[in-house]
Every structure is written in C-alpha cells, then in structure tokens.
Chain A
Amino acid sequence: MEAAIEIRDLRKSYGDVQALDGVDLTVPEGSFFGLLGPNGAGKTTFINILVGLVRKTGGEARVFGHGVEDDYREARDHIGLAPQEFNVDRFFPIREVLEHKAGYHGVPPGEAGDRADEVLKRVGIYDKRDTRFDWLSGGMKRRFMLARALITDPDLLILDEPTAGVDVQLRHELWETIVDLNQQGTTILLTTHYIEEAERLCDEVAILDSGRVVDVASPEELMDRGTDDIAVELRHAPTAVPDFTAVDERVESVDLDGTRLVVTAHQGGLVAPEVVRCLDEQGHEIVDLEIQRTSLEEVFVEMTRQGEGRATAEVSQ
C-alpha cells in the first residue's frame, strides 16, 4: 500500500533553533495517525512543511509520492488542512469562503456550491451559511475549520488540535465525523494535546519531542511499555513482602501496606494470574483484586521527560 506521508531526515532550523532535527516517519494510506508531543516539539512545523507554509531546511517530505516542494501542486491537492489557528477569510459569509476554497482546488462553481452545503450540513452549521466567520461561536468556528478541510474531498486530512477549547459534547461529535471519514478511506493525521483523543482514535502514534521522533507505535503498544499496578487486598497481612520479581521478569516492584499489596508490572493484565497463583500457593486469601492500567498520557509524559533529560545532557556537554 502506498504511503500517504513519507518523511526522510526532515530538518527545519530557525537560526540556531532546530525545530525539526532529522525526522523519519511513514504514515500508511488509510490510517488514523496521531502526532503527539509537548509544546514546541515541532508538530505544527511538520504539518506546515507538508502544506507549503514552511520551507524545509533539509531532507525529504512526500505526500502520496509527491514531493511537497518539487510537486507541490499535486501534493497540496491531496491535502485538507484544519489548522490550530483560525486563518479564515473574514470578508465573506462562510458558504462563499468554502466555494472559493473549492474553486482554488479546481472544483467548478456549481459543484462547489453543492459541496459547501453538504459539508456545512455534515458539521452541523448549515443554518449559519450566510454568516461571516467572526460572528460564529467558538465551537462553530471549530466545526467550520473541519468543513473547510473537507470541502476539497481530501485523501489526507490533517487536523492540528481540532478539538482545542471545545466542550465535551462537540468533541465527541467531531470524533464521530472524523472516525466516519477514516472508515471511508481518508487518511487522518491528528495532532492533539488530549492524549485520550489519540488513545481512543489512532491506529498508530508518533511521539515527537525537541524536533525528533522518540517513538512510533500503536497506543496499545505504547501503553504496554508503561507499568500497570495490580492492587491485591488480602484477608490477613503477610509477615514479609512476597518476591514476585523472581517469578516474572515483567514485575518491576512490590509494595506492601498492611493487607494491601501493590505489584507494579509491565503488561499487568497478563501478570495478574501469575500473582494470584503465587499468592494462593503461599496460602494467602485474596479479598479483592484490581488492575490499574497505565494510561497513554503517563507513558507520554515519561517519554517526553526522558527527552528533556537528554536535551539537558546535550546542552551541558
């Protein structure tokens, strides 16, 4: 299958600041791909290089096989972008803004009008079609950004913080629309600060930190790299802390507080039966057991904290 985005050794510097420092990334066609990273990690720079708003300093960036600078017209024709910052034409009612945008992509006038109506209905702001962007509420503005990205019927939909500042209900509605598009074959590239969003929606995520890709994996794989807590409530307090590290190498630590035993381990769901079996063999009676899965957010914070440490070490060298 062709890659929707193919990135090799992508670099961007602003004077001494290295915004992107040799990024390698492949986003498969049809995937729902997340780009996570703290502020200043280079996510928006990365996106802006794809759509032609930032010039790369080095490396290669291709969209459906088209170089974003040499074949910029073909590359841009595949992309629909909903940026984080509002960048909408304030002079015209939103329906006309959509018609213009469709026209720039070669959609004839009659069809552009039909498409504008269709996407406005899809995001639920058709009754505001004759209103100018400035007069829309915050939530409607976010909906419109998605409508504008969809007007050209893109193969690759890039969403930069699409649900920033919207309420829970709207966030869920937007998720539903995006998932629906992905199921119809549109490749989605999503950046978000809501890790739950990535956990819930993405097939694969890349963690970007200080202009570098720290890791690329599915949310489940990333969560497996974190540690889960298996909390066991015993009938009677043990006289010593049971040693599970020798039983299963995935166990990281064991803490005992009275009758409450907490085993910290990778892949806690798989380790738990082993813990139960051992406790049973040692004659302990289990009253309650709970597995607290690590969240993607915890893994993300841990990974980017390691990045901070690395960056600090590099600076001090």
Chain B
Amino acid sequence: MSIDTTGFVSLLRREVLRFVRRPRNTFVPPFITNVLYFSVFGVILGERIDQIAGVPYILFILPGLVVLGAISNAFENASFTIFHGRWNRYIEEVLTSPLSYRTMVSAYVLAAAIRGAIVGVLIALIGAFFTSVGVARPLYLVAFAVVITLLFAGFGVAGGLWADDFDDLTMLNQFILRPLVFFGGVFYSLNELPATVQQVSLLNPMIYMVNGVRFGFLGVSEVDPNASLAVLGTLTLGIIVADIALFRRGYGLTD
C-alpha cells in the first residue's frame, strides 16, 4: 500500500474510533432527543394533526428528523475534530506527516459522514419503533444520505478551520444550522405556507435535502428529487474542493 492509502486508512480509523468509543457523547444524545421528538411531535401531537402529503404526521416528520440528526452529527464531528485538534495542537501530528492535503481532508470528511449516517440509521430505527415505515426508493435514499452527510461533513471541516473559539462552533450549530433545518420543511409541508413564503423557502438548501430523503422513504416529494440530487452533489464536491484548498493554504492551521 502507498503512503496515501495507509495514511488515509490510519486517519480514517483514528477518526472513527474517536466517536465510536464515546457513545455517551456521540450516539446517546441523538437517541434520547429523537425518542422525545417522536413521542411528543409524532405520537402526542401527531394524533391531533391530519395527514400531510397523504401520510400520517409521524411518518411525514420521520425523514426530516433523520436529516436533522445526520447532518448535525456530520457537521459537529468534522468541526469538533478539526477545531479541537487545532486547540490542543494535536492536529500537528497529521499536518507534519507526508499525507497529501487531499488525503487529510478526505479522511476527516468521510469519518464525519460515517457518523452522520450511523445517527441517521439510528433515528430511522427509533421511528420504526413508533410507526410502520418502509423505504419506497432505496437508491434515492442512499444517494441522498451519502450526499448530505458528505456535504455537512465538508461544511464542518471549513467551520472547524474558521472557528477561533468553542463559542464559534456553538454559534454555527445553533444559530445557522438548526434554524435552517427547522425552516426546511421537517415539521410542515411547503404547500401549507403562503405562496411568497414558499418561494423564499426554496432558497433554503434544507428543503431539498429533507424532500430528497422523504422521497427515498415515502416516494413523495414537493421538489424534483433528481434536480435536488444534482444541486446537492455539486455543492458537496464544491465544499470538499474548498476544504482541500483551505488545508493547502494552511488556513487556520499554519502561521
């Protein structure tokens, strides 16, 4: 194996082991949060809400919750590992190695995407405990899951390089990511919004992710899934290329 292959596997393994060995920080919180979401919004409130887009409310929100969990965890993993590594300077173990910048970024992004995907599957399983759910379009589901976790892992790497403090990470997650997701059609249908707000909502990239994953689970979508996939795929490629350029420039990494 070349330095790049061995190095990539080593860094990927290190990154995956970091979150796998700390389930109390990585998997237990989304588990508890989503049990609460499904209990309160799905069961208690859901029974008082009519069907949306032809499906029961609990089923309607399930794909959105999967997206919310998957992208939050992908983002958090990548941003934390980069920022914490900078903060405690152990990222220098990687930076002073002969790995190419492309290999470094690929390993960080893929590991974070894996965590996002695991959390997404966990949430889907919690949903299946509360309601009967199938997968109408498995290929679309997998494609969207791959693209959105990679996309937010890519954003996480950039966020981790940009942050100067732990507060900056919290700000990215709470004030940017979470509002976009909540206004991204997780808990309501676009058709229920006034026409103008509907048009504005289409500027929110979360709409395409939530609808894409919803199409994978339920076979229904309020936007064209192929167009969504194409746009999201391009964005993902763009952010990963940008991450590599930032590493090459040493942004946030070198003096």
How many angstroms between the C-alpha atoms of A150 and B13 in the bound complex?
22
B 213-255 to A, binary, CB cutoff 8 A, 1 in contact else 0: 0000000000000000000000000000000000000100111
Q: Is A48 an interface residue (CB 8 A)?
A: yes
Given contacts A87-B92, A88-B90, A104-B94, contact A14 B6 (CB under 8 A): no
Does A74 have its Cβ within 8 Å of any Cβ on chain B? Answer: yes
C-alpha gap A104/B94 in the complex (Å):
7
The answer, yes or no, to whether A105 is at the interface (CB within 8 Å) is yes
The smallest beta-carbon distance between B73 and chain A, in angstroms, is: 17
Beyond A76-B97, A108-B1: 9 further Cβ-contacts under 8 Å? Answer: A45-B255, A54-B255, A73-B99, A92-B17, A100-B93, A104-B98, A108-B6, A112-B10, A148-B93
- Closest 3 CB pairs between A and B? A103-B10, A106-B3, A104-B97
A315 within 8 A of B: no
Bound CA span A184–B13, Å? 33
- Among B182-236, those with CB < 8 Å from A are none
Q: Any chain B CB within 8 A of the CB of A52? A: yes
Distance in angstroms between the alpha carbons of A105 and B10 in the assembled complex: 9
A263 at the interface (CB under 8 A from B): no
Nearest-Cβ distance from residue A57 to partner chain B, whole angstroms: 11
17 contacts between A and B (CB under 8 A): A74-B98, A76-B96, A79-B96, A87-B93, A91-B21, A92-B17, A97-B93, A100-B10, A100-B14, A101-B97, A103-B6, A103-B14, A104-B7, A106-B6, A108-B1, A109-B10, A112-B10
Does any Cβ of A come within 8 Å of B18's Cβ? Answer: yes
Chain A nearest CB: distance from B56 CB in Å?
43
Is residue A77 within 8 Å, beta carbon to beta carbon, of the partner chain?
Answer: yes
A76, A104, A107 interface centre (most CB from chain B within 10 Å): A104
When distances are taken between beta carbons in the complex, the residues of chain B under 8 Å from A52 are: 95-96, 254
Rounded to whole angstroms, the CA-CA distance of A48 and B254 in the bound complex is 9
Q: Does B89 sit at the interface, judged by CB under 8 A?
A: yes
Whole-angstrom CA separation of A89 from B90 in the bound complex: 5
Which of B4, B88, B97, B250 sits near A87, CB closer than 8 Å?
A: B88
Say yes or no: is B2 at the interface (Cβ < 8 Å to chain A).
yes
Bound CA span A86–B130, Å: 49
Q: Judge whether A55 is part of the interface by a CB distance below 8 angstroms.
A: yes
Interchain CB contact under 8 A, A77 and B96: no
Chain B residues in the interface with A (C-beta under 8 A): 1-4, 6-7, 9-11, 13-14, 17-18, 21, 88-90, 92-100, 250, 253-255
Find the A residue at minimum CB distance from B18: A91
A90 to B3, CA, bound (A): 24
B126 to chain A, nearest CB (A): 28
Q: Which residues of B contact A107 (CB under 8 A)?
A: 6
Least CB separation from B103: chain A residue = A104
Residue of A nearest to B3 (CB): A106
Report the minimal beta-carbon distance from A9 to chain B, rounded to whole angstroms.
Answer: 19
**Chain A residues closer than 8 Å to B90, beta-carbon distance:** 87-90
A207 within 8 A of partner (CB): no
In the complex the two chains form, is B3's CB within 8 Å of A100's CB? no
Q: Are the C-beta atoms of B7 and A103 separated by less than 8 Å?
A: yes
Question: A189 within 8 Å of B by Cβ?
Answer: no
A85 part of interface (Cβ distance < 8 Å): yes
Q: Which residues on the B side are within 8 Å of A55 (C-beta)?
A: 250, 254-255
| Interfacial chain B residues near A148, Cβ < 8 Å | 93
Q: Which residues of A contact B2 (CB under 8 A)?
A: 106
Measured CA separation A90–B254 after assembly (Å): 21
CB of A51 within 8 Å of the partner chain: yes
Could you tell me the distance between the alpha carbons of A271 and B94 in the complex, rounded to whole angstroms?
55
By beta carbon, the residue of chain A nearest B92 is A87
A202, CB-defined interface residue at 8 Å? no
Given contacts A14-B255, A91-B18, A106-B2, contact A101 B98 (CB under 8 A): no
Cβ-closest chain B residue relative to A75: B98
Whether B99 and A104, one on each chain, are in contact in the complex, defined by CB atoms closer than 8 angstroms, is yes
Q: Please, which residues of chain B bring their CB within 8 A of the CB of A77?
A: 3, 98
Q: A73-B100, A104-B97 are in contact. Are A87 and B89 (CB under 8 A)?
A: yes
- Which residues of A are found within 8 Å of B92, using beta-carbon distances? 53, 83, 87
**B-side contacts of A48, CB under 8 Å:** 255
Cβ A53 vs Cβ B254 within 8 A? yes
Residue among A99, A101, A106 with most chain B CB within 10 A: A106
Q: How far is B250's CA from A52's CA once the two chains are assembled, in angstroms?
A: 9
- Residues of chain A lying within 8 A (CB to CB) of residue B99: 73, 104
Task: Give, as a whole number of angstroms, the nearest-CB distance from A132 to chain B.
Answer: 12
Contact (Cβ within 8 A) A51 B96: yes
Q: Would you call A81 an interface residue if the criterion is a C-beta within 8 Å of the partner chain's C-beta atoms?
A: yes
A100 to B17, CA, bound (A): 11
The answer to whether A104 and B11 have CB atoms under 8 Å apart is yes
Query: Which of B3, B96, B98 is A81 in contact with, Cβ under 8 Å?
Result: B96
Which residues between 78 and 126 of chain A lie within 8 Å of chain B, taking CB atoms?
79, 81, 83, 85-92, 97, 99-109, 112
B98 touches A53 (CB 8 A): no
Q: What is the chain B residue whose CB lies nearest that of A50?
A: B96
Contact A73 B11, beta carbon cutoff 8 Å: no
- Tell me which residues across on chain B come within 8 A of A79, comparing CB atoms: 96
